[in-house]
Chains A and B, each alone.
Chain A
């Protein structure tokens, strides 16, 4: 039996807004095994963000259980949750969230500062390895404003990888990128998933991104309405290759 990274059982989350109680999640049950690449789909208002916050241990469910790598997060204190986030989850955000005026390598090192298990000496080395894994070793001293959107997102992925988490949690990680760069990022995720066996949970509302994952969980109105294995996983590498070559680039090339 494969190791369950995520195990969610009848998860509910309610918000009290004045006198009204808003039920964002109305009982969600699913689990994710180690090595899976799952997309969580849903339109706005489906409870996607609420679920993401709970999956990321930033929020605690009102009812139901959530086991992350066998740990029930409901029993943890604020500080224990922070430690859990640091050790077990690698966040990738839509807007990269890199620290401005801080070099790529320093951005990647950031989670290691909060990990007491990593000695100071190893920090730089680990960060370099993570940057190498995303193909940005030669850009380690660049500031975020000297990097393209795709490169910034790669730095963010390296930051998510550096603590060797059990799960990478991506929130619309391609939302700010053009199609070509999106495919490149998805290619990176697919590689991390297939070659390094990283478990990836990818939250998105774009169906054409979901095709690159091995399973799609669709939410609607706070419930899971579909949970399907993806029979025909698209390769982001092929998708990238099949993109029409941009004419303008060609023309510029010819001109020079």
Chain B
């Protein structure tokens, strides 16, 4: 008996009882289909969270002041009130930390943006030109301000799309116009590309960017900075960069050994892994449920194979009488079980992929069909066929031909 003979025999046996074979297969089809659909939904949501976070700049490192010590009266001071970060820190990071390509100091304040008769409450973010690189933010029109503007505290700005929508009537181009922010006139140099809402539902386009010196001196009248944004070379090096930033800042701030950091460094990668772990859990749960249905499908195969062996006892007896060895019978029934599970698996893969596509089309959920889930579920279902087909096949192969022949 070679493989083709076995497959031919098994195929004939299965087509002899089409309805039953189809129903048995259905268990596997649903199981495999469910696994693939569920994993692709889980992977899809993971991917979408990841890409949303990356839209903020996936290599971005954020440094904010932090203090656990109490200043004077015992009341803790919030990060916003701390004045420990200086512009010098930003330049030290850029110069001394390897793997960091861009650094931007940042200060931010809220106020009213005014253009002619229109006004809009928004926030003004003071940054350096590098900020656009760090956030991977492009302009739709105009040009960015330069380091010269930073040096001279130039009265220039870039507008977010939401601000443009609210203080310009839509006809005239904002570029070149002068708007006012809390009475300070700012010349619009460019309009920022639309970024949409971030993962937390904040409108990222409701913003005005200006040189940080302008915001520090002309609007907020402060000398410290609130935040330092930096970009690591890539996601992997952000851990190393984080450590080095810590060392540089501790030196700058003259912190002694044992003293707590007066700043906190966060990377986007951390956030991504936190968010991903949530959807990872979701994937695991969905997959577990789907795997159970695959198991049930496997038990269905086992059940039907037992019925089939009992029903075909006489056939088994005959085959043995005319020269089939135990192993021949075992392989015959095993092949049938595997054929059911593999055929079911193939149909299940097709069903799983197409239902994942349907989910995307009709429910607008992101899905991502991962190759590994297709391969894995297919392998699992083939193994299911072998595992659940083995015992019925073994039972068949151990029948006594004399009794099997006489079985009615």
Contact = CB atoms under 8 A, between A and B. Distances in A.
B321 A79 contact: no
Given A114-B1, A114-B322, A101 B16 contact: yes
A120 B322 contact: no
Interface of B: 1-2, 4-5, 9, 12, 16, 314-315, 317-328, 401-402, 405
A59 B401 CA distance: 9
Nearest to B2: A120
A91 B322 contact: yes
A110 B319 contact: yes
A53 B400 CA distance: 12
Nearest to B328: A114
B178 to A, nearest CB: 90
Contacts of B317: 97
Contacts of B12: 102
A76 interface: no
B405 A86 contact: no
Contacts of B320: 58, 82, 85
Interface residues of A, number: 26
Contacts of A71: none
A56 interface: yes
A111 interface: yes
Contacts of B327: 79
A111 B1 CA distance: 11
Contacts, number: 64
Interface of A: 53, 56, 58-59, 78-79, 82-83, 85-87, 91, 93, 97, 99-102, 110-111, 113-115, 120, 159, 163
A161 to B, nearest CB: 12
Nearest to A98: B318
Contacts of A115: 323
Given A85-B321, A102-B12, A114-B323, 20 more contacts: A58-B401, A78-B325, A79-B326, A79-B327, A82-B323, A82-B325, A82-B326, A85-B323, A86-B323, A93-B318, A97-B314, A99-B315, A102-B16, A110-B322, A111-B322, A111-B323, A113-B5, A113-B324, A114-B328, A115-B323
Given A93-B405, A113-B1, A113-B9, A56 B321 contact: yes
Contacts of A163: 323
13 contacts: A58-B402, A78-B326, A79-B325, A82-B320, A82-B328, A83-B323, A97-B314, A97-B405, A99-B318, A113-B1, A113-B9, A114-B319, A120-B5
Contacts of A99: 315, 318
Contacts of A113: 1, 5, 9, 324
A53 B62 CA distance: 87
Nearest to B327: A79
Nearest to B312: A99
